[in-house]
Chain A
Amino acid sequence: MSDPLLQVSGLGVRFPARRRRFGAAPQWLTALDDVHLEIEAGRSLGVVGESGCGKSTLARAILALVDPHAGEIRWRGAAVRRSDPAGLRRMRRELQVVFQDPFGSLDPRMSIGESVAEALDALEGLTESAAVRARVAAVLEEVGLDRSLARRYPHELSGGQCQRAAIARATVVRPRLLICDEAVSALDVSVQAQIVNLLSALSARHGMALMFISHNLAVVRHLCDEVLVLYLGHVVERGPRESVFSTPRHPYTRALLAAVPEPDPASAPATEPIDVVPGRAGAAPPDRGCVFQSRCPRADALCASQSPALVEAGPAHVTACHHWQAPEAWPVGPR
């Protein structure tokens, strides 16, 4: 059994909080706490959560754009550290990213052909030549863009086209894992579907693994084999897609699923729905106990005093809840 492509263990990332009194000890804002995950070759993992859950920080930590203060990240068995440029270079050839803002992720002063060629230059050391131009043209066509668009600039293209260009840049070097950080969130619905299909096709064709970060649960259900749910920097549930979506074992996951409005008037609540998850995401995590206790209707003394560990609730399905086995208190059922 070969190593998983990506192994994250005990990852912790924190940032200094804004205000610092001169001479006082630094205050920290914990973005991620004790995060474990693994991605095998060719598989896709969906990372879901709302604002403040740390999913973008997770992507940045894996890409070595920020330094974790705890835990480690292993790429194909080798530890990833920002202090090791050679190791980072090896990793970057195989691990690429597509960001949320299609216009923002491309340099406005470079044509998209130049942006894609830059990837070849930086990661494979290939300088401008006919061979490079051919590869650029080929990858543009692979993502559904006409090769004549290579000379165009981002502001001349639509959001969908720019995102395709960003995907072309990320996949021209045939990475083993592609991280998509809210890659379809800024796109129209019809274009979203095109890009999701494209990612799925590229993944299947090249055996490329995907880490799909999104707040859109429906897209994640469509695209990913496995799902990981983050809340305030903690992993609250993780498991195979069907298992998590049909039998969610954490109150937050259940709340998330219940809150998603389905495009089907027949299933819309005829009566007034119960207040779904009072309070708001993004509040500061509590000092002790379960990170979700302030919003959980079933939180009790145990939840307040002891932070739940990830326990197995099904085959390859883990959850961080003390009461996952108890019958659900909410009438809101799983989907």
Chain B
Amino acid sequence: MTAAPLLSIRDLSVDFVTPRGRVQAVREASLDVAAGECLAVVGESGSGKSQLFLACLGLLAARGTTRGSACFRGQELLGASPAALNTVRGTRIAMVFQDPMNALTPHLSIGRQLGEVLLDRGLASPQQAHERSLAALQGVGLADAEARLRQYPHELSGGQRQRVAIAMALMTRPELLIADEPTTALDVTVQAQVLQVLRRARRDGLAMVLITHDLGVVAGIADRVAIMYAGRIVEIAPVRELFAAPAHPYAAALLEAVPRLSEASVGRLRSIEGQPPAPGEIVQGCAFAPRCPDVTAICRREAPALRPGATRAVACHVPRIRPEPDS
């Protein structure tokens, strides 16, 4: 990594205090997002992928605590005051969620909500806000932008709402967009349109973190992929390298478990036996050990650390491919 990363996360842990005791949602996660790149964060339920980024933006639920560091362009985000976070949230880092209705206020028109993003922060005059709102809607491929500005969220379909949410996120021309399962709730044809919008947004140099469980979506848009399991990052690699030759057994198993359209595959899907540990479970050693086909004695004793290499990092005692050391 030659240039300084845009977002640098080091040993970030997220804990929740529940009546049943302490639950570790994220354990010592470390990763970088470079300017202009698209990093996909892949994991199943309980992997902690959403909590990781909610923690960075100070959006955790009340009972969550964080440890570690998350630096955005040198500014520490963890533990920062709400005022300090607000200089970054929504302006330089934007977030889009799975359900666009979370971002859109039902009783305000689209135009009003888009305009507020700029007007509230004093970033533009009302006239400028209107023009930029129009441009934003056109930029996400919504036809008839002028009419759309007057509409209300409930008058739009799910895909259209999501595109408005993305437009809102991009209004302040942020440097980083964090998208948490943005297309999971959408039909596949609508998903294709929304992904296209995201690809187009990247052309202007926008960096993106795409949180998803869908490996197909990852393949079409990501530069690098981070795979999370039970709160830990288990592998980070460039997308082609990961799909061609995954190093971590979980990554390999996940790729094999995904049914593909292109194969006339008949017979059993290669599934992973068992299930991920429950959120509060204390794990001894590697969390994937009970399900891992390559498990050895050391895996059950010691949790592997994320070992960085030249292009990829793996957290495994017996990776299928040993990452070349950084020279």
Residues of A bordering B, CB below 8 Å: 50-51, 158-161, 188-194, 196-197, 200, 215-219, 221-222, 242, 245-246, 255-269, 272-273, 275-277, 280-282, 335
The CA-CA distance from A74 to B113 in the complex, in Å, is: 53
- Interface of B with A (CB < 8 Å)? 44-45, 141, 157-160, 187-193, 195-196, 199-200, 213-221, 239-240, 243, 253-255, 257-262, 264-266, 268-273, 275-276, 278
A255-B45 contact in complex given A272-B199, A282-B157, C-beta closer than 8 Å? no
- Shortest Cβ distance from B265 into chain A, in angstroms? 6
User: Is the CB–CB distance between B44 and A335 below 8 Å?
Assistant: no
Q: Which residue on chain B has the smallest CB distance to residue A263? A: B215
Is the pair A218, B275 in contact by a Cβ cutoff of 8 Å? no
Interchain CB contact under 8 A, B44 and A188: yes
Q: A257 to B221, alpha carbons, bound, how many Å?
A: 18
Contacts of A282 in B (CB 8 A): 157
Residue of A nearest to B291 (CB): A190
* A residues less than 8 Å from B275 (CB atoms): 158, 160-161, 190-191
Contact present for B219 and A197 (CB under 8 Å) = no
> Min CB distance, A25 to chain B, in Å?
25
Closest chain B residue to A198, Cβ basis? B271
| B189→A255 contact, CB < 8 A | yes
**Nearest-CB distance from B161 to chain A (Å)?**
11
Which residues of chain B are near A196, meaning CB under 8 Å?
Answer: 259, 269, 271
Contact present for B261 and A260 (CB under 8 Å)? yes
State whether A221 touches B189 (Cβ < 8 A).
Answer: no
Q: Which residues of chain A are within 8 angstroms of B160 by Cβ–Cβ distance?
A: 280
Q: Which residues of B contact A193 (CB under 8 A)?
A: 257-259, 269-272
Q: Does A221 lie within 8 Å of B272, measured CB to CB?
A: no
For A255, the chain B residues whose CB sits under 8 A away are 189
Q: Do B265 and A263 touch across chains, with their CB atoms under 8 A apart?
A: no
Chain A residues lying within 8 Å of B243, measured Cβ to Cβ, are: 263-266
State A269–B40 Cα separation when bound (angstroms): 18
A221 touches B259 (CB 8 A): yes
What are the residues of chain A within 8 A of B219 when measuring CB–CB?
Answer: 261-265, 267-268
Least Cβ–Cβ distance between A294 and chain B, in angstroms? 13
A256 close to B189 (CB less than 8 A): yes
Q: Name the A residues within 8 Å of B213 (CB-CB).
A: 188-189
Contact status A189-B215, CB under 8 Å: yes
Residues of A within 8 A of B157 (CB): 280, 282
The CA-CA distance from A50 to B199 in the complex, in Å, is: 23
Known pairs A189-B215, A190-B272, A222-B269. 5 more at Cβ < 8 A? Answer: A160-B275, A189-B213, A189-B254, A255-B189, A259-B188
Q: Which residue of A lies closest to B188 (CB)?
A: A259
What's the minimum C-beta distance from A56 to chain B, rounded to whole angstroms?
A: 14
Output the nearest chain A residue to B156 by Cβ-Cβ distance: A280
Residues of chain B within 8 A (CB-CB) of A200 are 268
Residue from B45, B215, B271 with most neighbouring chain A CB atoms (10 Å) = B271
Query: Which residue in chain B gives the minimum CB-CB distance to A184?
Result: B259
In the A-B complex, the 6 residue pairs with the closest CB atoms: A261-B216, A193-B271, A50-B187, A188-B44, A263-B215, A193-B257
Cβ B271 vs Cβ A197 within 8 A: yes
Closest chain-B Cβ to A146's Cβ sits at a distance in Å of 12
B257-A266 in contact (CB<8A)? no
Q: In the complex, what distance in Å separates the CA atom of A188 from the CA atom of B254?
A: 10
Chain B residue nearest in CB terms to A282: B157
Contact pick for B187, options A189, A265, A275, A281, CB 8 Å: A281
Residue in contact with B189 in the complex, picked from A218, A266, A281, CB distance below 8 Å: A281
A51 to B243, CA, bound (A): 31
Q: How far is the CA of A188 from the CA of B275 in the complex (A)?
A: 10
Query: Considering the chains assembled together, what is the distance between the CA atoms of A193 and B255 in angstroms?
Result: 11
Output the least CB separation between A222 and chain B (Å). Answer: 5
Q: How many angstroms between the C-alpha atoms of A101 and B267 in the bound complex?
A: 26
18 A-B interface contacts by CB (under 8 A): A158-B278, A189-B213, A189-B257, A189-B258, A191-B271, A193-B269, A217-B188, A218-B261, A222-B265, A222-B266, A261-B220, A263-B216, A263-B255, A263-B260, A264-B260, A265-B240, A281-B187, A335-B261
The reply to whether A197 and B262 form a contact with Cβ atoms under 8 Å apart is: no
- Contact indicator A259/B191 (Cβ below 8 Å): yes
Q: Which residue of A lies closest to B203 (CB)?
A: A272
Chain B residues with Cβ under 8 A from A276's Cβ?
189, 192-193, 196
Assembled-state Cα–Cα distance A170/B259 (Å): 25
Q: Contact: B269 with A263, CB < 8 Å?
A: no
Q: Which residue of A lies closest to B43 (CB)?
A: A188
Q: List chain A residues, Cβ under 8 A from B240.
A: 265-266
Residues of B within 8 A of A189 (CB): 44, 213, 215, 254, 257-258
Q: Which residues of A contact B271 (CB under 8 A)?
A: 190-191, 193-194, 196-197
> What is the CB-to-nearest-CB distance from B222 to chain A, in angstroms, rounded to a whole number?
8
Quick check: B189 and A335 within 8 Å, CB to CB? no
User: Which residue of chain A has its CB nearest to the CB of B44?
Assistant: A188
A280, B254: Cβ atoms closer than 8 Å: no
A42 to B199, CA, bound (A): 44
Bound-state Cα–Cα, A15 to B221, Å: 40
C-alpha gap A229/B221 in the complex (Å): 28
Chain B residues, Cβ within 8 Å of A273: 192, 196
Bound CA–CA A258/B261 (angstroms): 10
